[in-house]
C-alpha cells in the first residue's frame, strides 16, 4: 500500500505543479486576476484560476482509476494486474457511480465558483448549489455518515456536514497558502488514520487530494503568485467533507471503536473554530455572517503583531497539534479518546484566549 500512496502523492503533486504553472500563465495573459481593494490584503493583482488546476488534478485521476478498474473487470483482464489490485479491483470498480457523482458535484461547485470569481454572485446562489449537490450525492448515491442513527438522521447530518465543511474552507481561503495548507495537513492525518484501519481506496483518494494541494502551494504560499478563488476553495472544502464521510471510522467487524467518530471533529477543529468565531464576530457587529471582511482567525493573529506568513504557519501548527492524536482513535479505548478530545479542546481554547487577550475591540473591516 505504501507505494500506491507514494504514486498517488507524488504523481498528483507533479501534475498539480505543472497544471498550476500553466493556468497561472494563462490567467495573466487573459487578465483573469484578483485586484486589490476592499478587505483584500494583497497590493498587486494576482492571477486567479488556481481552482481549475486543483479541480482537474483531483477529478481526472479519480475518474481514470475507477473507470480503468471497471473496464478491466468487464474485459476479464484482472489476472494481469498486480496482486494488490486483484484483491481490491472489484471494490474499486464498484465505486464508479459513486465517484462519478462526487466528481459531478465538484464540477458544479467549480463552475459556480468560476462565475463568482468573475462577477460576485453573493452567498445565496452558492449556498443553494452546495445544498443541492450535497442532497443529490447523499440521498441518491448513499454517501452518508452516522448511518447507525437511521436513514433520515443520517441524510440530514451528512448534508449539513458537507455544506458546513465546504464553507469552512471557503472562509479559510483568506490568506496566502492558508486553505490549501490546512486541507493538506488534515488530509494527511485522515489518510494515515484510514491506512491504520486497512482501508485502501479512500487513502489513495486522499493522497491524490493532498498531493494536488501541496503542488498548488508551490505557487500559492506567501507571496502567492496565484489564488484558488471560490472555484477552488469550495471544491477543496467539498472534497474534504466527502472524504471524511467515505472514511470508515467505526465498524465493530473491523474492531474499530465508536471513538473513531470523533476524528473529523478533532482534525478539523481549527477550520471549524475559524468559521464559528468569524460568524460570531460578524453577527455581533450587525453584519451578515457571509459578508467578507478581515475578522478571520488569521487576520486576528496579524492584528496581534504577527506577519501574514507567521500567522499561516501558526494555523498550520495548530491544525497539526489538534489533529495528530486522531490517528490513534479508530482503535483507542474511551479514556484515550476522551483525553485526545480534551487536548484538542484545550488547544482551541488556548488559541481563543491568546488571540483575544488585551484586544481593544472587535477587529474591523480595514487592514
In which band, very low, low, confident or very high, does the pLDDT at 360 lie, cut at 50, 70 and 90?
very low
What pLDDT, on a 0 to 100 scale, did the predictor assign at position 268? 95
- Average pLDDT score, the chain: 85
Q: Which residues contact 46 (CB under 8 A, 6 or more apart)?
A: 33, 34, 224, 225, 226, 227
What SS3 class is residue 34?
A: strand
Measured distance CA(282)–CA(293) in Å, rounded: 9
Q: Cell 488530509 identifies what position?
A: 187
Q: Would the pLDDT of 71 be above 70?
A: yes
What pLDDT, on a 0 to 100 scale, did the predictor assign at position 94? 75
Q: Would the pLDDT of 296 be above 50?
A: yes
Q: Which helix (H) or strand (E) holds 33?
A: strand 33-34
What pLDDT, on a 0 to 100 scale, did the predictor assign at position 185? 97
The neighbour count for residue 87, using CB atoms within 10 Å, is 11
What average pLDDT does the segment 252-270 reach? Answer: 80
- The pTM of the full predicted model, rounded to 2 decimals, is 0.89
What average pLDDT does the segment 72-87 reach? Answer: 60
Measured distance CA(276)–CA(272) in Å, rounded: 6
What pLDDT, on a 0 to 100 scale, did the predictor assign at position 195? 85
Q: Would the pLDDT of 88 be above 90?
A: no
Q: Would the pLDDT of 241 be above 70?
A: yes
* More confidently predicted of 355 and 175: 175
What pLDDT, on a 0 to 100 scale, did the predictor assign at position 355? 72
Q: Cell 452558492 identifies what position?
A: 126
* More confidently predicted of 131 and 38: 131
What pLDDT, on a 0 to 100 scale, did the predictor assign at position 251? 67
For the record, the C-alpha cell of 62 comes out as 479519480
* More confidently predicted of 4 and 236: 236
Find, among 275, 213, 205, 229, the residue nearest to 114 by Cα: 229
Give 113-171 pLDDT, tens digit per residue.
Answer: 999 998 888 889 999 999 999 999 999 998 988 777 788 999 999 999 999 999 999 99
Amino acid at each position: 500500500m505504501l507505494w500506491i500512496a507514494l504514486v498517488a502523492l507524488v504523481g498528483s503533486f507533479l501534475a498539480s505543479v505543472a497544471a498550476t504553472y500553466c493556468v497561472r500563465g494563462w490567467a495573466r495573459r487573459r487578465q483573469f486576476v484578483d485586484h486589490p481593494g476592499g478587505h483584500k490584503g494583497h497590493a498587486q493583482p494576482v492571477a486567479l484560476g488556481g481552482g481549475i488546476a486543483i479541480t482537474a488534478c483531483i477529478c481526472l485521476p479519480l475518474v481514470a482509476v475507477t473507470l480503468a478498474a471497471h473496464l478491466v473487470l468487464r474485459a476479464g483482464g484482472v489476472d494481469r494486474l498486480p496482486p494488490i489490485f486483484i484483491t481490491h479491483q472489484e471494490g474499486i470498480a464498484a465505486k464508479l457511480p459513486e465517484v462519478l457523482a462526487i466528481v459531478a458535484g465538484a464540477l458544479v461547485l467549480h463552475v459556480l465558483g468560476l462565475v463568482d470569481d468573475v462577477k460576485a454572485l453573493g452567498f445565496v446562489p452558492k449556498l443553494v448549489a452546495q445544498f443541492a449537490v450535497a442532497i443529490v450525492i447523499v440521498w441518491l448515491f448513499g454517501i452518508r455518515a452516522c448511518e447507525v442513527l437511521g436513514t433520515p438522521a443520517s441524510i440530514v447530518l451528512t448534508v449539513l456536514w458537507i455544506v458546513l465543511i465546504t464553507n469552512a474552507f471557503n472562509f479559510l481561503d483568506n490568506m496566502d497558502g492558508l486553505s490549501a495548507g490546512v486541507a493538506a495537513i488534515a488530509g494527511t492525518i485522515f489518510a494515515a488514520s484510514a491506512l491504520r484501519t486497512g482501508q485502501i481506496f479512500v487513502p489513495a483518494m486522499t493522497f491524490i487530494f493532498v498531493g494536488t494541494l501541496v503542488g498548488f502551494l508551490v505557487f500559492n504560499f506567501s507571496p502567492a503568485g496565484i489564488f484558488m478563488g471560490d472555484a477552488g476553495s469550495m471544491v477543496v472544502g467539498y472534497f474534504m467533507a466527502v472524504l471524511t464521510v467515505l472514511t470508515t471510522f467505526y465498524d465493530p467487524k473491523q474492531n474499530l471503536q465508536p471513538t473513531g467518530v470523533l476524528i473529523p471533529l478533532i482534525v478539523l477543529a481549527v477550520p471549524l473554530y475559524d468559521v464559528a468565531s468569524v460568524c460570531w464576530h460578524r453577527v455581533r457587529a450587525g453584519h451578515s455572517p457571509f459578508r467578507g471582511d478581515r475578522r478571520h482567525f488569521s487576520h486576528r493573529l496579524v492584528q496581534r503583531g504577527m506577519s501574514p506568513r507567521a500567522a499561516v504557519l501558526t494555523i498550520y501548527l495548530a491544525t497539526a497539534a489538534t489533529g495528530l492524536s486522531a490517528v490513534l482513535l479508530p482503535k483507542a479505548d474511551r479514556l484515550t479518546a476522551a483525553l485526545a478530545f480534551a487536548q484538542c479542546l484545550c488547544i482551541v481554547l488556548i488559541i481563543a484566549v491568546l488571540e483575544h487577550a488585551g484586544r481593544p475591540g472587535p477587529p474591523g473591516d480595514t487592514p
